Homo-oligomer: A and B are copies of this chain.
Amino acid sequence: MEIISHEKPLGLFARMWLYLKSLPEKLKAKVVEVVNKVIKLGKDDPRRITHSIKVGLALTMVSIFYYYQPLYDNFGVSAMWAVMTVVVVFEFSVGATLGKGLNRGLATLVAGGLGVGAHHLASLSGEIGEPILLGFFVFIQAAASTFIRFFPTIKARYDYGLLIFILTFSLISVSGFRDDEILELAHKRLSTVIIGGSACIIISILICPVWAGQDLHNLIATNLEKLGKFLEGFGNEYFKTLEDGESSNKDEKSFMQEYKSALNSKSSEESLANFARWEPGHGRFQFRHPWQRYLKIGNLTRQCAYRIDALNGYLNTEIQAAPEIKSKIQEACTEMSLESGRALKELALAIKKTSQQPITSADTHIKNAKSAAKNLNTLLKSGIWEDCDLLTVVPVATVASLLIDVVNCTEKVAESAYELASAANFESIDSAISTEKPRSGQCGAEKSNADCPHVVITVSELTPAAAMADRSLKA
């Protein structure tokens, strides 16, 4: 009995002791995990750290209003609008900050003016009429502005401005002060908003600026490069598994999966383009840089990425087509994939360097890819297939067909990259190419194969997906 009664509290104590002893270790493990996550987040994009410091700096600067007596005497409690403006307006990129700041400033100005007017109008209508009329004004403008926010074009650029419009109008028109006090309120609100907004804009431009335009530029180029990497590797990978069985190294293949990020980048491209339009000229970009053309290239890149996703399906499967069939088209397919991959990488380089030179070499690669497609066509027409089982031909035929689609897409990307290069005045090393001849006269273009006697067929004879992709973009 004694032993048992003695053991029980010991058991409880021991368990508690064990728990308490393990607690620091568990906590330590948790802390280490969180710290690792933080380090990774910072390493992935060190600009996140500078951004956080910039926000802290702007906020501390603006809060001087509260400490510094002469300024505080001037603005009083309204100084908090400056703090609020900094917290709400300071965004990651210069474009977003500028867009929000200008929206907030303009909306405050207009809504403040209208609010003062509405308040004055209502105050004329007597003590009973005033709250009714004011309520009516607030209701009408809130409902109307909220509805206007549903327009997609307005939502993309002026959503925040309309929000601040509703806010300021309601605050100013409704507040129960006398007319002269209201004017002062509106004036104080506007000046503190301007002070807070300017602080954000100045800090975001002067200290390690993050340009949305530069990000969009890089994103488009990187996506093209990722597709190019996949295509460069695809030919070898697809035909290697045939020779070496399942020997493919997973680490080696990771770069083949990078293209996936291009599949869903539409929304980030669009918001970056919206931000970029607010930005002043910076680096190689003018104020009215043709950001819309980047979106066009991005859309075509995605069309290409859809086909590559389908190709990837044929790469990762254990079921392979018959080796003798694969080997017959190996050379042509590898060539097509390699050359269009190289072309995409050259186009990415052209965008990265804002130089026209790589577009010309991309044209050469596209020409090579098309001539490989022609060879493939000849192969398919020749009778070498007659002894094959069609069932085993289908996967290979699909791969070939998808590759031809990819070549077509690449050509479209090259065309829109060329349009971008002309519109944005990319540096042209060989100026003769860009001025003497329009692109439609080059071999890369669709309609003028007659200029290039060695590329007789139009690739779209076989597959129409690229043409369709173009059509869907225009729709």
Spell out A's residues near B (CB within 8 Å). Answer: 37-38, 41-42, 48-49, 51-53, 55-57, 59-60, 63, 66-67, 72, 77, 80, 83-84, 87-88, 131, 134-135, 138-140, 142-144, 146-147, 150-151, 163, 166-167, 170-171, 174-176, 257, 260, 264, 266-267, 306-307, 309-310, 312-314, 316-319, 377, 380-381, 385-386, 389-391, 393-395, 397-398, 400-402, 405, 460-469, 471-472, 475
Main secondary structure of the interface of A (DSSP, over half): helix
**Pick from B84, B266, B381: contact of A391, CB under 8 Å:** B381
In contact, B67 and A151 (Cβ under 8 angstroms): no
* Given A143-B52, A309-B306, also A66-B166 (CB < 8 A): no
In contact, A464 and B316 (Cβ under 8 angstroms): yes
Q: Which residues does chain B contribute within 8 Å of A174, judged by CB atoms?
A: 63, 66-67, 83
In contact, A140 and B465 (Cβ under 8 angstroms): no
Q: Which residues does chain B contribute within 8 Å of A469, judged by CB atoms?
A: 313
Considering the chains assembled together, what is the distance between the CA atoms of A435 and B319 in angstroms? 35
9 more A-B residue pairs beyond the given contacts A87-B142, A319-B462, A381-B389, with a C-beta to C-beta distance below 8 A = A41-B151, A48-B147, A59-B139, A66-B176, A88-B163, A313-B465, A313-B468, A393-B397, A394-B401
In contact, B462 and A314 (Cβ under 8 angstroms): no
In contact, B401 and A398 (Cβ under 8 angstroms): yes
What would 21 A/B residue contacts be, using CB atoms closer than 8 Å? A41-B151, A51-B146, A52-B144, A56-B138, A59-B170, A63-B174, A67-B174, A83-B171, A84-B171, A264-B266, A267-B267, A312-B468, A313-B464, A313-B465, A317-B467, A380-B389, A390-B393, A394-B400, A394-B462, A397-B397, A397-B401
Considering the chains assembled together, what is the distance between the CA atoms of A146 and B389 in angstroms? 62
Considering the chains assembled together, what is the distance between the CA atoms of A143 and B60 in angstroms? 11
In contact, A394 and B395 (Cβ under 8 angstroms): no
Interface centre among A84, A257, A397 (most CB of B within 10 A): A397
Considering the chains assembled together, what is the distance between the CA atoms of A389 and B378 in angstroms? 11
Smallest beta-carbon distance A332→chain B, Å: 13
In contact, B37 and A151 (Cβ under 8 angstroms): yes
In contact, B60 and A138 (Cβ under 8 angstroms): yes
* Given A397-B393, A401-B394, also A260-B143 (CB < 8 A): no
Q: Which residues does chain B contribute within 8 Å of A60, judged by CB atoms?
A: 135, 138-139, 142
Considering the chains assembled together, what is the distance between the CA atoms of A471 and B395 in angstroms? 20
Interface centre among A37, A80, A88, A142 (most CB of B within 10 A): A142
In contact, B56 and A170 (Cβ under 8 angstroms): no
* Given A147-B49, A313-B465, A464-B316, also A87-B394 (CB < 8 A): no
Smallest beta-carbon distance A166→chain B, Å: 5
In contact, A472 and B397 (Cβ under 8 angstroms): no
Interface centre among A42, A147, A167 (most CB of B within 10 A): A147
Q: Which residues does chain B contribute within 8 Å of A472, judged by CB atoms?
A: 260
**Pick from B57, B67, B390: contact of A139, CB under 8 Å:** B57
Considering the chains assembled together, what is the distance between the CA atoms of A386 and B388 in angstroms? 9
In contact, B317 and A464 (Cβ under 8 angstroms): yes
Smallest beta-carbon distance A219→chain B, Å: 16
Question: From A72, which residue of chain B is reached at the shortest CB distance?
Answer: B176
In contact, B397 and A166 (Cβ under 8 angstroms): no
Question: From A263, which residue of chain B is reached at the shortest CB distance?
Answer: B306
* Given A48-B150, A66-B176, A313-B468, also A167-B380 (CB < 8 A): no
Considering the chains assembled together, what is the distance between the CA atoms of A42 and B135 in angstroms? 24
Question: From A55, which residue of chain B is reached at the shortest CB distance?
Answer: B146
* Given A175-B66, A306-B306, A464-B314, also A390-B398 (CB < 8 A): no
Question: From A173, which residue of chain B is reached at the shortest CB distance?
Answer: B63
Smallest beta-carbon distance A329→chain B, Å: 10
Considering the chains assembled together, what is the distance between the CA atoms of A307 and B37 in angstroms? 37
In contact, B317 and A468 (Cβ under 8 angstroms): yes
Smallest beta-carbon distance A213→chain B, Å: 21
In contact, A464 and B319 (Cβ under 8 angstroms): yes
